[in-house]
């Protein structure tokens, strides 16, 4: 089964990470990476909220894009 860049598993993981940063990494079995991406998204959301005094999820969105890319290009070590 293909687990490289562009494989079905990575596409599904990337879509999951776009919705909830770290979820795609969790699906791929990378627990520490998943936790770090989720915590990063929460911190970015909090910073954005504190700076703009609104619930605009811009920080969350930025982190989710990077988590999505990270899940999409992941290659399982041989």
Task: Judge whether 41 lies within some domain.
Answer: yes
Look over the chain and give the mean of its residue pLDDT values, rounded to a whole number.
Answer: 88
Predicted confidence at residue 9, as pLDDT, reads 83
Residues spanned by the domain of 42: 8-73
Task: Judge whether 1 lies within some domain.
Answer: no
CA dihedral defined by 67, 74, 7, 35, rounded to 10 degrees? -50
* Model confidence, pTM: 0.84
Task: Judge whether 16 lies within some domain.
Answer: yes
Count up the domains in the chain and report the number: 1
Cα 20 to its chain centre, rounded Å, is 6
Q: Is the pLDDT of residue 54 over 90?
A: no
Predicted confidence at residue 1, as pLDDT, reads 38
Predicted confidence at residue 6, as pLDDT, reads 59
Task: Judge whether 78 lies within some domain.
Answer: no
Task: Judge whether 31 lies within some domain.
Answer: yes
Task: Judge whether 2 lies within some domain.
Answer: no
Which phi and psi (to 5°) does residue 6 adopt? 90, -5
The CA-based angle 44-45-48, given to 5 degrees, is 85
The tens digit of pLDDT for each residue in 29-40 reads 999 999 999 999
Give the tokens for residue 23.
């979820």
């Amino acid at each position: 089964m293909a687990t490289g860049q562009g494989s079905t598993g990575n596409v599904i993981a990337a879509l999951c990470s776009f919705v909830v940063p770290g979820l795609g990494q969790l699906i791929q079995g990378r627990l520490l990476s998943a936790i770090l991406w989720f915590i990063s998204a929460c911190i970015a959301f909090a910073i954005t909220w504190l700076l703009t005094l609104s619930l605009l999820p811009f920080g969350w969105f930025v982190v989710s894009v990077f988590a999505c890319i990270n899940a999409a290009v992941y290659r399982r070590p041989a």
